[in-house]
Structure 1
């Protein structure tokens, strides 16, 4: 099918539903859309649950207009998500099936993505119903699934959209570009940093020898926190991992970076169950001094992203206050980790 934009229906009492129905018919042909419902929980893209007369449930995701303020790496995020799902699916990881991706263009002011719906509930919603045995099994399954995703090798290091300018033939150069981009975004949006910009910008060069051993650009989801993990109950009452969603932050680089995206679930590298699952696929994973230095660098990078994105996304209230405090503490703590690791090297 030629990728052309779905027509926009005339304004009416339920414009969002009519637009969703038009996009689904554009992607799938003459199907009957019974209803569509806005879903909450997203902080950037909007999402709707679309129910078809043939019994299928789909997810329609829509990005903000291409003219909306965004971080440098946030151009074409739904294209990144589509790519992630397409690459991850053959590894055995449970991800939605991509039915259609429409880039922003002259007739589509916002890019959109149509996916199959994964039955279940997110880990954060089910958390209070999980037993210790559930937790152990799920962490092992998650580690195994993410290790399988990391077996995918990209064409270059960095974000998978060359137009963004954050790709490079080696990981130190790519990570330098990625970190420098978010620092430039902080300056562009006048976001105060928790440490001097010069100190933060110098980190990839300072720890070049720790980044250089990463030679293969592995696929990294980088946002596999419990809100992006779908669980389902089994016949015996236990829970299993039924899906990994929202791959819009994905990049190609150090597979260790995946552990940082898991931080809301606890420090992944210190979780024996998750690491056992990961090593069942990749026994060679090591957590030496170099690996721990890289983890600290990636934690600083993610904290800076979350801090700076609060400006273009206009976060406010309690969440904005918490994020400001958390990101500052996070960066300060990880800089101390790097200082300590450097001191051990010199000792």
Structure 2
């Protein structure tokens, strides 16, 4: 850690907690947008300090006040009984004068993704059931409006889901043009998807809270002294929005299809037995998979991903988008 970084960490820690000195501050890896430090305090307490890029850094349209979104998500999810980090302090870029930041309690454990090779099949099934129950509880939280919770220009929210989702998708298409990212199919075909799926989108009658990034890299687990694995909590709620609870299944498995995970769905239905996976739901899932694949493709430009990762994203997202468009053609005719 550079001296300037350490000074920033100490200044923000003291701003939140008063005259305290971290015993150590370790930069955490794995984040693609925000930077994060693990702070060790006297007495064994551990915290995470997350910092956003400068406000003028290149970003996608919805990447506005993401740590404010994470604060909102953790508060609401925690109130719903889902284990998430406790938020200790949050400041916007305007308040801080440099960049937005967030101070959280640390969840002690490892990510499910990192522990994958150590988790036996039976233990994994139990963890996936627990994760399904957790995201169902998250989906039980109702917002006041559909879309992203932070103010953006243009707005990415609305009083109904078809309008909100059309704005969300339209913003990613505009971002692709702004950053010079070629799309896998003509933009007009993608822009017309919300109107094509209007009837299916209109089935969503409640703005449910959606994490949208609850893949196993954002699921913290821990092994008890007995050897059994337990779900510690969900982290990184910065991509959350209010919308169709089915969209959570896309974020749970960005490369696959979480609705085919019997353990996950059983856990979800233990909380919400009314989860419906009919043809209309399949159409919406295909639509949300297109949306996420486009985000992953376009964000490579402002984030400056390396050539190999960017090439993989370009190839994968083309396959993902064309496959999901074929699903929509089959379902909608």
Same fold (TM over 0.5): yes
Partner in structure 1 of residue 244 of structure 2: 254
**2:87 is equivalent to residue 101 of structure 1:** no
The one-character-per-residue Cα deviations of 1:188-234 (angstroms, maximum 9, x if unpaired) are 00100001100000000011000001010000000011110101002
1:225, 1:265 within 8 Å by CA — same for their partners in 2?
no
1:226, 1:264 within 8 Å by CA — same for their partners in 2?
no
Following the alignment from structure 2 to structure 1, what is the Cα–Cα distance between the partners of residues 85 and 255?
Answer: 22
Partner in structure 1 of residue 283 of structure 2: 293
Partner in structure 1 of residue 113 of structure 2: 124
Following the alignment from structure 1 to structure 2, what is the Cα–Cα distance between the partners of residues 195 and 240?
Answer: 43
* Pair 94,106 (structure 1): closer, same or farther in 2 beyond 3 Å: closer
Compare 257-266 and 289-298 and name the one that shifted more.
Answer: 257-266
2:293, 2:320 within 8 Å by CA — same for their partners in 1?
yes
1:98, 1:114 within 8 Å by CA — same for their partners in 2?
yes
Following the alignment from structure 2 to structure 1, what is the Cα–Cα distance between the partners of residues 314 and 250?
Answer: 19
Following the alignment from structure 1 to structure 2, what is the Cα–Cα distance between the partners of residues 116 and 259?
Answer: 27
Secondary structure of residue in 1 paired with 2:55? coil
Partner in structure 1 of residue 13 of structure 2: 24
Give the Å deviation of 1:235. 2.8
Which of residues 84, 88, 103 is equivalent to 1:114?
103
**2:203 is equivalent to residue 213 of structure 1:** yes
2:66, 2:238 within 8 Å by CA — same for their partners in 1?
yes
Partner in structure 2 of residue 310 of structure 1: 300
> Number of residue pairs matched?
332
Partner in structure 2 of residue 179 of structure 1: 169
1:157, 1:169 within 8 Å by CA — same for their partners in 2?
yes
Using the size of structure 2 for normalisation, the TM-score is 0.97
Partner in structure 1 of residue 310 of structure 2: 320
Secondary structure of residue in 2 paired with 1:311? helix
Give the Å deviation of 1:264. 4.6
1:95, 1:243 within 8 Å by CA — same for their partners in 2?
yes
* Pair 178,161 (structure 1): closer, same or farther in 2 beyond 3 Å: same
Partner in structure 2 of residue 69 of structure 1: 58
Using the size of structure 1 for normalisation, the TM-score is 0.94
Partner in structure 1 of residue 138 of structure 2: 149
CA RMSD of aligned residues (A): 1.2
Secondary structure of residue in 2 paired with 1:198? helix
**2:137 is equivalent to residue 166 of structure 1:** no
2:62, 2:152 within 8 Å by CA — same for their partners in 1?
no
Which of residues 317, 322, 330 is equivalent to 1:332?
322
Compare 55-64 and 97-106 and name the one that shifted more.
Answer: 97-106
Following the alignment from structure 1 to structure 2, what is the Cα–Cα distance between the partners of residues 155 and 147?
Answer: 19
Give the Å deviation of 1:163. 3.5
The one-character-per-residue Cα deviations of 1:152-206 (angstroms, maximum 9, x if unpaired) are 1001000001344101000000000000000000000010000110000000001
Which of residues 47, 55, 74 is equivalent to 1:58?
47
Structure 2 unmatched runs, 5+: none
Compare 104-113 and 254-263 and name the one that shifted more.
Answer: 104-113
Partner in structure 2 of residue 230 of structure 1: 220
Secondary structure of residue in 1 paired with 2:113? helix
2:254, 2:292 within 8 Å by CA — same for their partners in 1?
no
1:33, 1:51 within 8 Å by CA — same for their partners in 2?
yes
Give the ranges of 4+ consecutive aligned residues of structure 1 lying more than 4 Å apart after TM superposition.
Answer: none
* Pair 98,288 (structure 1): closer, same or farther in 2 beyond 3 Å: same
2:61, 2:152 within 8 Å by CA — same for their partners in 1?
no
The one-character-per-residue Cα deviations of 1:267-301 (angstroms, maximum 9, x if unpaired) are 21111111000001100001000000000000000
**2:122 is equivalent to residue 133 of structure 1:** yes
Give the Å deviation of 1:124. 1.2
Following the alignment from structure 2 to structure 1, what is the Cα–Cα distance between the partners of residues 254 and 297?
Answer: 16
Secondary structure of residue in 1 paired with 2:170? helix
Which of residues 43, 48, 69 is equivalent to 1:80?
69
The one-character-per-residue Cα deviations of 1:220-267 (angstroms, maximum 9, x if unpaired) are 000011110101002321211101000010000000000000115842
